[in-house]
Amino acid sequence: MKKIVVFASGSGSNFQAIVEQLHPKRCEVALLVCDKDGAYCLERAKHFEIPTFLFNPKDYLSKTEFEEVICEKLSQIEPDLIVLAGYMRIIGKTLLDAYEGKIVNIHPALLPAFPGRDGITDALNYGVKVMGVTVHYVDAGIDTGKIIDQLSFKRSDEETKEEIINRIHALEHELYPKVIARLLKV
């Protein structure tokens, strides 16, 4: 059985979509790694009985130090893929060196446009009419890794920001589990 580990910092709706669509029939979601105490993704993990590793970056002297601890956890699992789902931290050299080519991320914009923390707001402020989501490999940059897949839609001027955010999340929940299954060949 192929294994994945999901990293999240917030609500975890993508984490839930991945669990619901893949776990445990097609692959095992072996662990949720979270850097934010109280994040709702932890509740979702509890509900689905997925083990969690919660850490506070402030407890460590550097990114290298906490990534070494994460690597130690991961070495007990030997995941086939590391799936970033709203993990709002740049992956450092320690994790990248250990899992090169095996870390993927989802971003709520059509990369290479609108990378960074708030791609949806940036795209709306720019006034784009076609919006979408991107799944890509993770490299040392911010949302710069090789694109794996994208989905897009044309927005109407009547749609509110909230409606657009919901549409983007729905696309993410459709795309991400499919891409993960394809990469794992399950």
* Site residues for ligand GAR per CB under 6 A: 8, 10-14, 85-86, 106-108, 119, 143, 169, 172
d(CA 35, CA 53): 8
How much of the chain is in helix, strand and coil states, percent to nearest 5?
A: 40, 20, 40
State the Rg of the chain over Cα.
16
To ligand GAR, the closest distance from the beta carbon of 61 in angstroms equals 25
The CB-nearest residue to ligand GAR is 86
To ligand GAR, the closest distance from the beta carbon of 164 in angstroms equals 12
Name the 3-class secondary structure at 130: strand
| Closest CA relative to residue 149, chosen from 130, 170, 186, 174 | 174
Q: Which residue's CB is nearer to ligand GAR, number 1 or number 142?
A: 142
Which strands, in side-by-side order, build the sheet including 130-137? 52-54, 28-34, 3-8, 81-84, 103-107, 130-137, 147-154
Q: Is there a contact between 92 and 67 (Cβ–Cβ < 8 Å)?
A: yes
Q: Which residue's CB is nearer to ligand GAR, number 40 or number 99?
A: 40
To ligand GAR, the closest distance from the beta carbon of 24 in angstroms equals 20
Q: Which residue's CB is nearer to ligand GAR, number 30 or number 171?
A: 171
Q: Which residue's CB is nearer to ligand GAR, number 23 or number 107?
A: 107
Q: Which residues are catalytic?
A: 107
To ligand GAR, the closest distance from the beta carbon of 14 in angstroms equals 3
